[in-house]
Amino acid sequence: MIAAGPTIQIGDHAATAQLFGMTISLDIVWSTLFAAAVVLVTGFMMRSRVTSGVPGKLQLFWETLVEQVCELTDSAIGPKGRKYVPLAVTIFFFLLVCNWMEIIPSGHNPERLPPPTADINLPLAMALTVIVLVHVESVRARGAKGYFKHYLQPNPIFLPINVIEELTKPITLTFRLFGNIFASVLMVAVMVALLPVYLVPFGELIWKPFALFIGAIQAFIFALLTIVYLSIGTSVEEH
């Protein structure tokens, strides 16, 4: 008989709970709350230490981040897009923290704080929130008549295509983030399952720096697409 090799469990969670017939992954909830706490604490710390003189490292980080996002919004939307800068900065930093939680050593035990973006629920919730906001801002910028009229552009025969395009936006936004982070987590799971125990730390040492790069790129892309969708949704014919 051939001995069974190590198996890779997909979708397992360290702790779950039932609520109204739904299964809630508590480890994803805790890791999401942890990421949100990191964002809030970092923001409040920066606010308490802000100075008009020589900025500290934390203030310099925030100023650089805000400056880069301002340049993106100015190029995509114009000066009126400055009101979306706090949203884009928050989305980027929150997703960055979520994605970078992957570097927490996993070992052979279930992760207590897995990256919440490796579970499809958080990317889907983020994508739906962004798309709903885009449609709300589109109605504000164009008016109800202009909002529904844009589905008929450039010709009424494009109505089905325009509707499908709007429906696919949250789907593509979700799976772009989820797929990349999940694949990165799966890569670590493969190493943990197939490598000897004493080689697992070396495998993670090689892979996880690359995972940091993937996490940063995906957070940037999500924030960038948020700005792009807002730019498209709030544009008017005169412009």
CA nearest neighbour of 78 among 133, 141, 150: 141
- Whether 214 contacts 178, CB under 8 Å: no
Please tell me the distance from the alpha carbon of residue 85 to that of residue 69, in angstroms, as a whole number.
Answer: 6
Domain ranges of the chain: 16-234
How high is the pLDDT of residue 48? Answer: 81
Give the gyration radius of the chain's Cα atoms.
Answer: 21
CA nearest neighbour of 179 among 207, 209, 217: 217
How high is the pLDDT of residue 8? Answer: 43
How high is the pLDDT of residue 200? Answer: 64
Please provide the DSSP assignment of 120-159 as one string: THHHHHHHHHHHHHHHHHHHHHHHHHHHHHGGG-S-GGGH
Helix (H, G, I), strand (E, B) or coil at 25: strand
How high is the pLDDT of residue 193? Answer: 67
At 93-113, the pLDDT tens digits run 999 999 988 776 554 444 567
Contacts of 192-195 spanning 24+ positions with Cβ under 8 A: 192/106, 192/107, 192/108, 193/6, 193/7, 193/8, 194/6
Walk along the chain (239 residues) and give the pLDDT tens digit of each residue.
444 444 444 455 666 677 777 777 778 888 899 999 999 998 888 888 777 777 777 778 888 888 888 888 888 777 777 888 889 999 999 999 999 887 765 544 445 678 889 888 899 999 999 999 999 999 988 888 888 888 888 888 888 898 998 899 999 999 999 988 888 777 766 766 666 766 666 766 777 778 888 888 999 999 999 998 988 888 775 44
Beta-bridge partner residues of 199: none
Helical residues (DSSP H) of the chain, grouped into ranges: 26-49, 57-76, 85-100, 121-149, 159-194, 200-234
CA nearest neighbour of 109 among 189, 33, 30: 189
